[in-house]
Every structure is written in structure tokens, then in C-alpha cells.
A and B are shown apart, each in its own frame.
Chain A
Amino acid sequence: MKAAEVSAKQISSKVSLKKRFRQNWDCYLYMAPYMLIFFTFTVLPVVMSIVLSFTYYNILEPPQFIFLDNYRNLLATDDVFLLAVKNTLIIAVIVGPVGYLACLLFAWLINELSPIVRAVMVVILYAPTLSGGAYTIWQVLFSGDSTAWINGMLLNFGLIDEPIQFLTNADYMIWICIIVQIWMSLGAGFLSNVAGFRSMDRSQYEAGYVDGIRNRWQELWFITLPSMRPQLMFSAVMSITSAFSVGDVTVQLFGNPSTDYAAHTILNHISDYANVRFEMGYACAIATVLFATMVGLNELIQRLLRKVGQ
């Protein structure tokens, strides 16, 4: 049945491309307003970024083509970039998977609560992401005063003798960044998972129990996850994006550049070169590297997710 459908579609697409175009030419008209804006302000910037990454460009003079020099400098001479890559990877390796699993785990756990409690929990868990700049409150919590929240508490319990400078001490900064980032990791992917669990078909579970599904884990792996694969893929895209685009948080909490570059991320490096040094070509090269990493990783993870439940 399905195979026949597919082949029919293939044949029709091969035979009558011209006819399809003639019958549907008005579609382009309807899409034009959105696509024009979308391509100008979303796609074109990425293409331009890739092109500019092969040039020296300081905004005042026209770009000079320097081929791969930017990339060579990036990898060979820019120690701070390598540090930024290291920091970004540490953050992404922890925040990405933890955030992704948290999106799934909490959606799964709150699925069994009563509707009202579930609605409240969804608001509570989603609020940190929803509320854009709320993370600045962590600055107050982690402040270096002896009367600040966390320092005050630690002093009170006698765990430390003098306040720790959380926001300027290189030993702590990256971990604070990770905590805040995890706090903000339940985003659109989480909502997608919640909705996915909510719309699960009960009869599938009952069929599963007859089949000998014995506990929650088996239920999750053999029934729930396979039918939620589309949501899992969407949530993976969201997690990868947010894990690699850490930047605002570090600027807000530690400043840019941070002490000893201890919390310097790739995004910070981009804005350093773009907004402070005006080396646009170089900044674009950094952006291109970041972007390529994200797209490549996404491809890999989508492939892995196709194996869930098999």
C-alpha cells in the first residue's frame, strides 16, 4: 500500500515537474512575503558569514580576499580561541546531554500527575527559559559579598572562612555557567516532549502489557520513545542549539572578557572580534566554525535517534 503510494509519487514528480509548476505557480506568490524576509535576514546572513570568513574586513575598507588565512590564524595562533573552544565544549558536553535528558525525564515524570498539578509544573519548569533575562538573578545569589546568599550560607554553616569570589575566580566560573545553563535548559524541546507524552495512545500501552512489558523502563523504551521519535528529534535540535550558543549568560555574570578567559565561549570570542576589534572577517570565520559544528553534530544525533527502541 505504502510502497505503491511512494512510487506513484516518484513517477508523478518525474513526469510532470512542468505541470506541477503550472498548476501551483500561485504558491510562490503566497510564500513570497515570508520567504523574501526569511532569506534576507536569516539565510543570507549565514551565506555572507561564510563568504566573509575568507576575507579581511573591518567595515571601513572593502573586504580583501585572503583565502584561508583566517582559519589558519584561528587554529594555529589564536590561543584564546582554543580556550574558547575548550570552554564551549565543556559546557556543551555537560549542558547538552543533561538538558536533553532533563527535557525527556521531566516531561515523563509530570505526565502522570493530575492535570492541574501538571499545568503548574510545566509553568515552573519552563519559566526560566521563557523569561529571557531572569538569569541575572544568579548574579545576586553568587555575589562575592560575605552577606550574599550563597556565601552567607556557607559562612554561616562554617564551611568556609572567607567569601568565595564565585564570579571572578577561574575555578568556579565555568561550573556556575553550567548550573545556570542547565537551569535554563527546559525550553521548546521540553514542551514538545510534554505534548508528546500527553498525546500518547493509551491502548498502545495496554497492548504492551499483554505483550509482557513488565516495568516503566520497558514501557518507556519499547512503547513511548519509539512513538515519540519526532519530538525527540526536535528536542535534540533545540538542545544542541542552546548548548552551543552559550554567551549572554557569561557576559552578564562574568563580563566579557571574563577573568583569565576562564568562561570565555566561542560566542564571546565572536562578539569580542566583531564589536570590539572590528575584525569582521575573522569573527565570521569563528561563526562559520561554530555553525558547521552544530549542523554536523545535529546530523549525527538525528541518525542515532533513528535507532531508539530497536
Chain B
Amino acid sequence: MEHAKKIDAPIDPSKIKVSKKVFNPGPARSRWGNVCNFLFLCLVGVFMVFPLVMIINNAFKPMDELFLFPPRIFVQNPTLDNFSNISVLMSQSWIPFSRYIFNTVGTCAVATFFHIIFASLAAYVLEKRDFPGRNVLFKIVVVSLMFTPTVTAIPNYIIMSKLGMIDTYWALILPYVGSSMGLYLMKQHLSASVPTALLEAARIDGASELRIFRSIVMPMVKPAWLTMMLFSVQSMWGITGANMIFTEAKKPLSYALNQIVSGGIARAGAGAAVQLIMIAPPILIFIVTQTQVLDTMASSGIKD
């Protein structure tokens, strides 16, 4: 409010002089400030990226380079041995490697699909329709952004066992389908990028609610569901299914890969390759979808 008043206030001539002086060097950036910013960013960038660079390089190092002293960051003679080692190790297990991959990719895909459909539908009516209880429901969703899995783990196990879902894929899929981050982001994005008037027009033309959702709303919020996809892969890819899955054939990939890593020094090479496999998919998806994700996050703020 105060700010708006200042702009509206009449400008007296003496002030124009001062502001002109400031305005000429542009947005008031000093060269030293820029240099400092640049150096600072470089330093932090190195701190942030160093462990990741190490993971990537280690995955391609032959055994003798992994244990070289003094250690080198960058790989000298890159090799794919570590990856072929994984398949050799996995071929000895009585569950085929492809089964673990199927388990993770399958649960991830099913959970993502239903999460996007269900959460978007709910977000759509929460944002665009005025029914009793919508504010309360949305408040609950915002508070639930703070629920960490560990806090809900015990009751979740009890609920799962009462529903008879322990040791089924549903135990991995359903908790994610109901996660609140996706609904929250979708609702905020809908409010910023889908004009209500457009929906009214479609309604007058006789389009049914589901048709409006499918043919008008969903295509318009593509950035938001790509973001939901990113977040769901981020949290589903590394899922180990501990406590929930006991049948070996239903265990996810990260569980099998963790078994390799726990083999210790002898499996350091394969372990390094495993680490790369575990971190790569979310990062790759983010590189591809960054623009859309940032579009979605622009409306992610919590409004009073």
C-alpha cells in the first residue's frame, strides 16, 4: 500500500535530478558486485557439483583407478565394465534383473498416471468450482505438505495390513497417488493460467464437466503435469519397499541394487555404477522439463 502511494505522489523537480543520476548507470549494478557474485556462485557451484561429478566419473572408472592414491576426480580410461559387472552379478540371482526393472518402472508409471489424473481432477474442482468445504479441504492439503513419510510410516503400515495390501504393488503405488504436492501445484497453476471465463463459455456451449476437464483444462496445464511427473519419479525411483514388500519378485530395483553396494570393497566398481543409475533418471527428466517446471513453480506460492 505504502509503495503504491509513493508512486502516485507528485514528483517535485528537485527529486527528478537525483533519480536521473541513479537511473543512468542502469539498475544500479556495480562492477565489483558482479565480480563478487560471479566468484561466489562459482565457489558454491563447485561445492554443489563436486559429489555428483565424482559419482559420474566413478561409474566409468576401472578398478585400479577407483583405488588410486592420490585419487583423481576425472576418469582416465573410461570403461563400461562396471555396468556389465552389474548384469553379471544380477544374472546369478534367481530373480531376473529385468523383473526388478519392471517392478520399479511399472509402479512408478502407474502411480504417476493415477496421481496426475486424480490430483488434477480434484485440483480443478477445488480451484474452479464453489462448493461447500473447498477452503477447508485445501487448508488440509497445505498442512499436509509438511507430513514426512517417517512420521506417517507406522500407521501407514497398519492401514496397509488392514486393507490386505502388504506385499502387493499397491502398497508402493497408493501412498504416492494421494500425495499432496501434486494437487497443490496443480491447483495454484490452474488459478494462474486457466481463465475462469473460458470455462464458463464452454459450459454455456453445453460441454460436460469431464469434457471441459479433458479437452480444455488438461492441455492448458501441461507444464503442471510434467512437473508432477518429475516429482513422482524423484520420489518413486529410489523407493526400496522396505516394510511393505516381502516377496523377492516384487521388490523394486533400488532394493536389488542396494544389495550390490552392500557387497563392500570387492564390488566398488559395480557399486559406483549403481549409484549413477540411481541418480540419473530424475536429473535427466529435470534437464528436459526445466522450462515447464519453472513455469509451474512460478505460481507455487502460498497466498494469504
Contacts and interface: CB of A to CB of B under 8 A. Distances in A.
Interface string B139-163: 0111111111011111110110000
A59 B7 CA distance: 65
Given A27-B129, A127-B52, A210 B146 contact: no
B302 A41 contact: no
A136 B274 CA distance: 12
B66 to A, nearest CB: 10
A274 interface: yes
Given A41-B175, A195-B298, A122 B131 contact: no
A154 B60 CA distance: 27
Interface in A40-56: 40-46, 48-49, 52
A125 to B, nearest CB: 6
Contact of A234 (B237, B293, B302): B302
Contact of A34 (B70, B121, B130, B181): B121
A98 to B, nearest CB: 12
Interface string B154-192: 111011000000000000001101111101000000000
Interface of B is mostly: helix
B41 A121 contact: yes
Interface in B77-110: none
A191 B296 CA distance: 10
Contact of A231 (B6, B48, B301): B301
Nearest to A218: B28
B302 A131 contact: no
A133 interface: yes
Interface stretch (A17-25, A67-75, A76-84, A159-167): A17-25
B45 interface: yes
A93 interface: no
Interface residues of A, number: 111
A229 interface: yes
Contacts of A287: 150-152, 154
Taking residues whose C-beta sits less than 8 angstroms from the other chain, chain B's interface range is 35 or more
Contacts of A207: 7
A207 B27 CA distance: 11
B29 interface: yes
B69 A152 contact: yes
Contact of B51 (A128, A271, A309): A128
Interface centre among A41, A216, A234, A302 (most CB of B within 10 A): A41
B263 to A, nearest CB: 14
Interface stretch (B194-202, B245-253, B281-289): B281-289
A170 interface: no
Contacts of A152: 69-71
B19 interface: yes
Given A125-B45, A130-B283, A33 B121 contact: yes
Given A137-B54, A274-B153, 20 more contacts: A24-B125, A27-B134, A33-B122, A37-B178, A38-B122, A38-B183, A42-B178, A46-B144, A59-B158, A112-B37, A131-B52, A132-B238, A137-B55, A192-B297, A195-B294, A199-B298, A219-B28, A233-B301, A284-B154, A294-B146
